[in-house]
Amino acid sequence: MNELHIPNGYYQLWNMYLLKRGLDYHCLQSIMPYVSQLDHLLSLPIDSQSPYTFFNLVMQATQQELNCPNLVFEMAELIRPEHFGVLGYMATRSNSVAEALQYIMKFSRLVIDGAEVTPMQLSSIGDEFYLTWPLHDAKYALVNELTTACMAHLAKQIFPSSLVLKCMKFAHAQQMARFHYEKFFACKIEFEHPKYAFVLNTASLDLKSELADPSLMQLLLKQAEEAIASKPKLENIVQQLHQHIAQHLKQYAQAPKIEQMADELYTSVRTLQRHLAEEESSFKKVLEIERLKRIEQLLLQPLSLLDIALQLGYSDQSALARAYKSYTGQTLLQRRKALKLEADEQ
Position 146 scores a pLDDT of: 97
Residues contacting residue 96 through CB under 8 Å, at least 6 positions apart: 205, 206, 207, 208, 209, 212
Mean pLDDT calculated for residue range 169-192: 96
130 inside domain = yes
The mean of the pLDDT values for the chain is: 90
Q: Are residues 311 and 332 in the same domain?
A: yes
Q: Is 236 exposed, middle or buried (0-12, 13-18, 19+ CB in 10 A)?
A: exposed
- Tens of pLDDT, residue by residue over 118-159, are 778 888 889 999 999 877 778 899 999 999 999 999 999 998
User: What is the spatial distance between Cα 340 and Cα 320, in angstroms, rounded to a whole number?
Assistant: 20
- Percentage of the chain with pLDDT > 90? 57
**Interval 215-240: pLDDT, tens:** 999 999 999 999 988 887 666 788 88
Residues 266, 269, 274, 277: what is their CA dihedral angle, to the nearest 10 degrees?
Answer: 110
- Whichever domain contains 328, its CATH number is 1.10.10.60
> Containing domain of residue 292, as a range?
237-345
| Domain match, 91 and 212 both | yes
Check residue 2 and give its pLDDT.
Answer: 59
Same domain for 135 and 176?
Answer: yes
- Residue that finishes a domain, picked among 180, 205, 229: 229
Rounded to an integer, the average pLDDT of 28-47 is 95
pTM, two decimal places: 0.72
CB atoms within 10 A of CB 241: 26
How many domains does the chain contain in total? 2
pLDDT at 1 over 60: no
User: Which residues neighbour 333 within 8 Å (Cβ) at sequence distance 6 or greater?
Assistant: none
Domain end (from 229, 258, 282): 229
